[in-house]
Amino acid sequence: IKEDELEEIIKNSGNSENGEIIFADKKNGIVVKTPDGAIRILEIQAENSKRMTSKDFLNGNRLEINTVLTKSI
């Protein structure tokens, strides 16, 4: 994920684990815990898929709250 595809939204996001999905819905997108707070993912690319907005991704995929995202290399 490139920096211009993220938006910092919360400075302190509680006790969630880094990389944990705080919420994910079509209106607000995907928000994930970071060491400094939380970020909203504006664009995402699933493995073997094309890059798309998080809202488009959520139209065809479901993300569970508290799931920890992993980085694919």
Give tens-digit pLDDT for 46-72: 888 899 999 999 999 888 999 898 765
DSSP for residue 4: G
| pTM of the complete model | 0.75
CB of 37 closer than 8 Å to CB of 10: yes
Of the candidates 12, 41, 5, 57, the one whose C-alpha atom is nearest the C-alpha of residue 32 is: 41
